[in-house]
Amino acid sequence: MQNTEWVPEKLKGAAFFLAWLAGLFLIAGLAWFLSRPVRADISMRNINTVLKNARELRQLEAPLADKSIPRLKAAKAAQLGTWYSLHNSEDRAVVFSIMTDGILAPYLLFVSPRGEMGEPIPLGAHSAQMLERLPREVLQTYRKRLLAGDALLSGEKK
Amino acid sequence: MKNNTIQSPIFWGNHAPLSTLVSAGLMIMATSRLAFALALTVALVWVNMLTVLIVSVGKPILPKKGLEILRVFLASFFGSLYLLFSYFVNPFLAMEITFLITLAPLYCIGSGICRRTADLDPEDAVLKAFLEALVLGSILIALALIREPLGFGSLSFPGGPQGMAVLVFSGTLYFPVRVVAGASGGLLLLGYGLSLFRRFKARHSGGEAKQ
């Protein structure tokens, strides 16, 4: 009789524990998933403000992954940064970050339809101060990888 | 179950931030800038207080088995909520310190605050959690106040479209010492901080013994 009571008690404990974990995952997951469009919008607005302050006429329009690009290609290209289409230009923009000493420094690069890249524009005040301290080789490596991402989006093999 | 005692001194005790070194990573990474240290102090207070509050208030409805694991998940949950709110308020700063915020729950669990406050009243438990997070936060801010002016030649505060407002010190005789801004500078300061801490701790425990 004792044994039969013990098993449901143990199962009840495990189920209770799993319910707590599932609840926490569910709340956090829903909060992050449902707020994604709002977060993307806030980020884009902030980036556009920074571009305006830097007297850059080009402005971000929308994330490129939302448009007519195959999902697999977009996912591969997004491994290093988020790609955006522009309001008043044929160019693309990519927002990426470089990690130094545990801090992620965000930058933006414009890429022309022919695959030419501009200079990185620092998005944060910290990124601006870090840009002059970054070794050129690190930036070069990031540029090469971003160019590979751009080639994927353009459908060209470079 | 009234227990008003906060047994171990929060700055010199056995669980003080410099005594356990659970937070060594934070002290090296988050102190390069004042804005990072301030934002992380709020994160530490938020995660510590809410985790301890839920653990002590929800004692009757928390599972007995697997409670340690559940505390880890609770702390991570509150850390993730803080990061989410930060993205709404200040996306660039949130982006920059994402990795640091993920370390706040680790500090909360590593310091053992939930275990140590298990027998206290909820008010005392939350107060202790708040004070412990504040002590670590004060150390981070103090180190940042040394490192940022020396390493970057500036002082930063959270806010503004670029994530932080930066006051740059200018002058012909002033130039930043770059090594202080890097991880090596953080380690150097941490070493000095530790030796000072040991000296004062020895003096403090000597005074207590005399009494």
Q: CB contact, 8 Å: B96 with chain A?
A: yes
Q: Which residue has the higher pLDDT, B112 or A22?
A: A22
Q: Which residues of B touch A53 (CB under 8 A)?
A: 161
Q: Which residues of A touch B69 (CB under 8 A)?
A: 17, 21
Q: Which of B40, B38, B46 is nearest to B157 (CA)?
A: B38
Q: Given this model, what pLDDT does residue A158 score? A: 43
Give me Rg for the CA atoms of chain A.
Answer: 22
Q: Given this model, what pLDDT does residue B8 score? A: 59
Q: Which residues of A touch B62 (CB under 8 A)?
A: 20
Number of Cβ pairs < 8 A linking chain A and chain B: 106
Q: Given this model, what pLDDT does residue B12 score? A: 64
User: How much is the mean pLDDT over chain B?
Assistant: 85
Q: Are strands B154-158 and B164-168 parallel, antiparallel or unpaired?
A: antiparallel
Bridge partner residues of B164 (DSSP):
B158
Q: Given this model, what pLDDT does residue B13 score? A: 67
Average pLDDT over residues B76-95: 94
Q: Which residues of A touch B95 (CB under 8 A)?
A: 97, 104, 106, 124
Average pLDDT over residues A150-155: 77
Average pLDDT over residues A56-78: 75
pLDDT level of residue B172 (50, 70, 90 thresholds): low
Give the distance from residue B17's alpha carbon to the nearest chain A alpha carbon, in angstroms: 20
Strand order in the sheet with A60-63: A60-63, A81-86, A92-100, A103-111, A121-122
Q: Given this model, what pLDDT does residue B19 score? A: 64
- Span B113-132, pLDDT tens digits: 888 888 889 999 999 999 99
pLDDT level of residue A75 (50, 70, 90 thresholds): confident
Q: What percent of chain A has pLDDT over 70?
A: 89
Q: Given this model, what pLDDT does residue B63 score? A: 86
**Which residue is closest to B153 within chain A, CA to CA?**
A129
Q: Which residue has the higher pLDDT, B210 or B18?
A: B18
Q: Which residues of B touch A27 (CB under 8 A)?
A: 77
Q: Given this model, what pLDDT does residue A73 score? A: 72
Q: Is B128 exposed, middle or buried (0-12, 13-18, 19+ CB in 10 A)?
A: buried
Give the distance from residue B195's alpha carbon to the nearest chain A alpha carbon, in angstroms: 24
For every residue of B19-57, DSSP letters joined together read HH-TTHHHHHHTTS-HHHHHHHHHHHHHHHHHHHHHHHH
Cβ within 8 Å of A, B 34-53: 35-36
- Span B10-51, pLDDT tens digits: 666 666 676 666 788 888 899 999 999 999 999 999 999 999
Cβ within 8 Å of A, B 4-33: 25, 28-30, 32-33
Q: What are the φ/ψ torsions at residue A124 (nearest 5 degrees)?
A: -105, 160
User: pTM of the entire structure?
Assistant: 0.86
Distance CA A142, CA B1 (A): 59
Using alpha carbons, list the distances in angstroms from residue B176 to A26, B151, B170, B181: 47, 5, 10, 9
Q: Given this model, what pLDDT does residue B59 score? A: 86
Q: Which residues of A touch B34 (CB under 8 A)?
A: none
Interface test with A, best of B82, B98, B162 (most A CBs within 10 A): B162
Distance CA B2, CA A145 (A): 61
Q: Given this model, what pLDDT does residue B77 score? A: 96
Give the distance from residue B8's alpha carbon to the nearest chain A alpha carbon, in angstroms: 32
Q: What percent of chain B has pLDDT over 70?
A: 85
Amino acid, res. B10:
I
Q: For the beta carbon of residue B24, count every other beta carbon within 10 angstroms.
A: 15
Is B165's CB within 8 Å of A104's CB?
no
DSSP B111: T
Q: Is this complex's ipTM strictly greater than 0.90?
A: no
Highest mean pLDDT, choosing among A87-91, A94-98, B10-14, B45-49: B45-49
Q: Given this model, what pLDDT does residue B44 score? A: 95
As a whole number of Å, the end-to-end CA separation of chain B is 29
Q: Given this model, what pLDDT does residue B11 score? A: 65
Cβ within 8 Å of A, B 168-207: 178, 182-183, 186
Using alpha carbons, list the distances in angstroms from residue A50 to A103, A108, B92: 20, 10, 11
Q: Given this model, what pLDDT does residue B7 score? A: 54
pLDDT level of residue A2 (50, 70, 90 thresholds): low
Q: What are the φ/ψ torsions at residue A44 (nearest 5 degrees)?
A: -65, -40
Q: Which residues of A touch B29 (CB under 8 A)?
A: 101-103
